[in-house]
Amino acid sequence: MAQIPSDRLVTIYGGSGFVGRHLVRALAKRGWRIRVAVRRPDLAGHLQPLGVVGQIQPVQANLRYPDSVARTAEGASAIVNLVGILYESGAQTFDAVQAEGAASVAKAAKAEGARLVQMSAIGADKDSASGYGRSKALGEAAVFAAKRDAIVMRPSIIFGPEDDFFNRFASLARISPFLPLIGGGETKFQPVFVGDVAEALAKAVEGEAKGGEIYELGGPEVKSFRALMELTLQEIGRKRILLPLPFALARLQAFFMELLPKPMLTRDQVTMLQTDNVVSDEAARANRTLEGLGINLTAMRAILPSYLWRYRKAGQFTKAAT
């Protein structure tokens, strides 16, 4: 059985989620002891088989309570903050989670003298009209204020088996005769594979990324929203009408969708869709990208068939459209 080095402890806030599961696996393979700080540790047991006995420990923490953050950071030589929300619900506001929460994690990392890696998002901007984008930028600023050598990772939309993008629209295509093209479907994205994002985070934890920098993570292809919907339909073998939906009408629909417990679309997301979500020229020139970290980019077509097959009419027995 592999021996776990006692001097390599990493605390991952939000480590039980989509990206977290892949990061836990990547760091477990590298021999780290992993403390997974989540609101519901009783629901994080699925992570423990990713390492050897005793290597991965779920613990309770809530970014809205700084004392719990400080407690779960104790003794860590590296800290990763993956916590983020796509929509607000009650006390779980963008500012509380993505700005003030990030500040609490940064202060805890400073107190422990730990390396800090902060997950943000392409589109983070203190002047953004979107609460999501603005709070992400405020979180980045708080992180650098406490830890000048922190590393920030900004991915584009992330794809993989549990993603919230391709799964969402493939699921909609099973029951709806059309798919909405918000804003006409012209917004550009650079989808990045979750495994590549996890590898970038793991490299940062191990000191292979430059401190005090912001990295932008995008995949090998830049595609419009329309092209991504066409790709989704091709992979699931279904024909649907692609219906252009002006931003104003999408915002109106989102107003009513926000009344649902888990809204499919919010007005804030409509605002975000008005701006392209791709790696900036500045980041590319400075080599603050996946390629700059020595990571080979994974194409969508290499991964999408492995999980979108379940949305085909006969599941795995249905061929994707060509």
Q: Is 156 exposed, middle or buried (0-12, 13-18, 19+ CB in 10 A)?
A: buried
pLDDT recorded at residue 7: 76
Q: CA–CA separation, 240 vs 292, rounded Å?
A: 39
SS3 of 88, please? Answer: coil
pLDDT recorded at residue 4: 56
Model confidence, pTM: 0.94
**Bridging pattern class, strands 223-224 and 188-189:** antiparallel
> In order along the chain (322 residues), what is the average pLDDT of each group of 10 residues?
67 96 97 97 94 95 96 97 94 95 98 98 96 98 98 98 95 94 97 98 97 98 98 96 96 93 92 97 97 98 96 76 54
Domain 9-159+190-221+277-298, CATH: 3.40.50.720
pLDDT recorded at residue 183: 95
pLDDT recorded at residue 314: 81
